[in-house]
C-alpha cells in the first residue's frame, strides 16, 4: 500500500515538494498495481484520494518548517539580547573576545538505577564480547581498521576545545537521553579496550565496564549518565559518544582554531534537550546563562 512506501521514502518527498516528478512517479508506480485490480472510476477515486493525502502531508511539513524558522529567529534575537546585556563594552568586555553559544539542557531527574536496567546493560556487554570472541578468538592484535579508529579517536581528543567539557557539564548531558542500556557500544570499542588491556580476560573486561555503573543515574537516560556526567572514561565510550559534536560543540571547536582566541565564552542554556530543541511545538526558553573565562577551563 502507498502508506507503507510513503513512510519509507517520506523524507525524500518532504524535501522536494508536491510538484516533484519523483512524487508523481511514485504515485503512478504505486498506483499501477491498484489500477490493474480496479475499474477505471474507482482507480481515479483512489488516485485522487492518495494525491490529496500526499499534498496535505507536504503542506503540513512546509508549515512546520516555517514555524520552526520563525521560532529560531525569535530565539536568535533573544540570545543576542541576552549576550549584549552581559557582555557590555561599558563593563570592559570586548564582544569580539567573548562570543556566545547556546547549549541545550537535560532536565531529567536523578533516580536509583534499577537492577533491571543494569542487567540489560550486562546483556549488551555479554553479547558484544561473545561476538568478538567468536569472530576473533583470543587474538588481540589490532587490524589496520582498528588502528585507523584509534588514530581518529586521538585526533578528536587532540582537537577538543577547552570549553567543550564545560559545555557538556552546563548542559548536563542533553544528548545522552538516547543511550538507554546500550550506551551505543559496539564490538569495535570493546575490542579497543580488550587490546589495550591484554591482561584482562573477557569476563574481567565485562566486569570492568559493569564496575563503572552508577547507583544513581538520570531517569530514562543512558545507564552511564550521572549528575557529574558520563561515568565511562573516554577510551571505554562508544565511537558514537566520542565522535558526536552537537551544534554548540562544533561552534566551540571552530572558535578554538580562530584568531583571536576567545578570552571567555558566554553560555546560554535553553530549556529543551538536544533532541527536542528543534520542535516548534515545545517551549525552549532561556533557563540560564554563564560566562566562563578561558583561564577557568
Ligand atoms: S555534546 Fe552537546 S548536547 Fe551533548 S552533553 Fe555536550 S553540550 Fe550537551
Ligand atoms: S556512554 Fe556516556 S557519553 Fe555515551 S550516551 Fe552514555 S552517558 Fe552519554
Contact indicator for 205, 132 with CB cutoff of 8 Å = no
Which has more confidence, 33 or 97? 97
Q: What percent of the chain has pLDDT over 90?
A: 68
Nearest atom (ligand 2) to Cα of 179: 5
Sign of torsion over alpha carbons 105, 107, 111, 113: negative
286 shares its domain with 197: yes
Least confident of 4-8, 106-110, 199-203, 251-255: 4-8
Nearest CA to ligand 1 atom 1: 246
Residue among 122, 128, 97 nearest 209 (CA): 122
Contact indicator for 108, 220 with CB cutoff of 8 Å = yes
- Ligand 2 center–CA 83 separation, angstroms: 30
The most confident of 37-51, 136-150, 163-177, by mean pLDDT: 163-177
- Parallel/antiparallel/unpaired status of strands 100-103 and 264-270: parallel
261 shares its domain with 196: yes
Q: What percent of the chain has pLDDT over 70?
A: 87
Residue among 178, 227, 230 to mutate when testing ligand 2 (max atoms within 8 A of CB): 230
**pLDDT tier at 297 (50, 70, 90 boundaries)?**
low
Q: At residue 28, does pLDDT exceed 70?
A: no
**pLDDT tier at 259 (50, 70, 90 boundaries)?**
confident
133 shares its domain with 49: no
Nearest CA to ligand 1 atom 2: 246
In this prediction the ipTM stands at: 0.98
Only one residue has cell 515545545, namely 282
Nearest CA to ligand 2 atom 4: 241
Q: How many domains does the chain have?
A: 2
155 found inside a domain = yes
122 found inside a domain = yes
Q: What's the mean per-residue pLDDT of the chain?
A: 87
The whole-number average pLDDT for the span 173-198 is: 94
* Domain end residue (candidates: 37, 70, 103): 70
Element (H, E) at 243: helix 239-243
28 found inside a domain = yes
Residue 10: the pLDDT is 40
59 shares its domain with 109: no
Residue 32: the pLDDT is 64
pLDDT per residue over 81-95, tens digit each? 999 999 999 999 999
90 found inside a domain = no
99 shares its domain with 179: yes
- Ligand 2 center–CA 227 separation, angstroms: 12
The backbone region for 3, taken as left when phi is positive above 0, alpha when psi lies in -120 to 50, beta otherwise, is alpha
86 found inside a domain = no
Nearest CA to ligand 1 atom 6: 168
Q: Tell me how far apart the alpha carbons of residues 34 and 120 are, in angstroms, rounded to a whole number.
A: 45
Q: 62 is in which domain, residue-wise? A: 2-70
pLDDT per residue over 42-52, tens digit each? 888 888 899 99
106 shares its domain with 46: no
**pLDDT tier at 219 (50, 70, 90 boundaries)?**
very high
Alpha helices per DSSP H over 87-216: 115-136, 144-158, 164-171, 187-196, 202-212
Would you give the distance in Å from CA 268 to the centre of its chain?
Answer: 19
Amino acid at each position: 500500500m502507498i502508506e507503507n512506501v510513503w513512510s519509507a521514502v517520506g523524507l525524500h518527498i518532504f524535501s522536494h515538494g508536491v510538484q516533484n516528478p519523483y512524487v508523481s512517479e511514485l504515485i503512478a508506480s504505486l498506483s499501477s498495481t491498484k489500477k490493474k485490480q480496479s475499474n477505471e472510476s474507482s482507480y481515479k477515486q483512489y488516485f485522487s484520494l492518495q494525491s490529496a493525502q500526499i499534498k496535505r502531508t507536504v503542506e503540513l511539513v512546509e508549515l512546520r518548517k516555517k514555524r520552526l524558522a520563525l521560532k529560531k529567529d525569535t530565539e536568535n534575537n533573544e540570545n543576542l539580547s541576552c549576550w549584549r546585556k552581559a557582555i557590555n563594552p561599558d563593563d570592559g568586555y570586548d564582544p569580539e573576545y567573548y562570543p556566545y553559544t547556546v547549549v541545550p539542557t537535560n532536565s531529567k531527574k536523578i533516580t536509583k538505577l534499577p537492577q533491571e536496567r543494569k542487567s540489560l546493560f550486562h546483556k549488551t556487554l555479554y553479547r558484544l564480547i561473545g561476538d568478538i570472541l567468536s569472530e576473533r578468538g583470543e587474538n588481540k592484535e589490532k587490524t589496520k581498521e582498528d588502528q585507523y579508529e584509534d588514530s581518529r579517536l586521538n585526533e578528536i581528543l587532540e582537537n577538543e576545545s577547552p570549553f567543550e567539557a564545560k559545555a557538556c557539564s552546563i548542559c548536563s548531558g542533553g544528548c545522552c537521553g538516547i543511550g538507554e542500556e546500550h550506551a551505543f557500544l559496539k564490538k569495535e570499542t570493546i575490542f579497543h579496550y580488550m587490546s589495550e588491556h591484554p591482561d584482562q580476560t573477557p569476563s574481567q573486561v565485562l566486569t570492568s565496564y559493569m564496575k563503572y555503573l552508577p547507583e544513581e543515574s538520570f531517569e530514562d537516560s543512558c545507564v552511564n549518565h550521572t549528575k557529574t556526567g558520563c561515568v565511562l572514561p573516554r577510551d571505554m565510550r562508544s565511537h558514537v559518544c566520542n565522535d558526536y559534536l552537537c551544534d554548540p560543540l562544533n561552534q566551540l571547536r571552530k572558535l578554538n582554531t580562530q584568531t583571536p582566541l576567545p578570552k571567555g565564552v558566554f553560555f546560554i542554556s535553553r530549556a529543551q534537550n538536544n533532541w527536542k530543541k528543534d520542535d516548534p511545538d515545545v517551549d525552549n526558553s532561556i533557563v540560564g546563562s554563564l560566562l566562563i573565562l578561558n583561564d577557568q577551563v
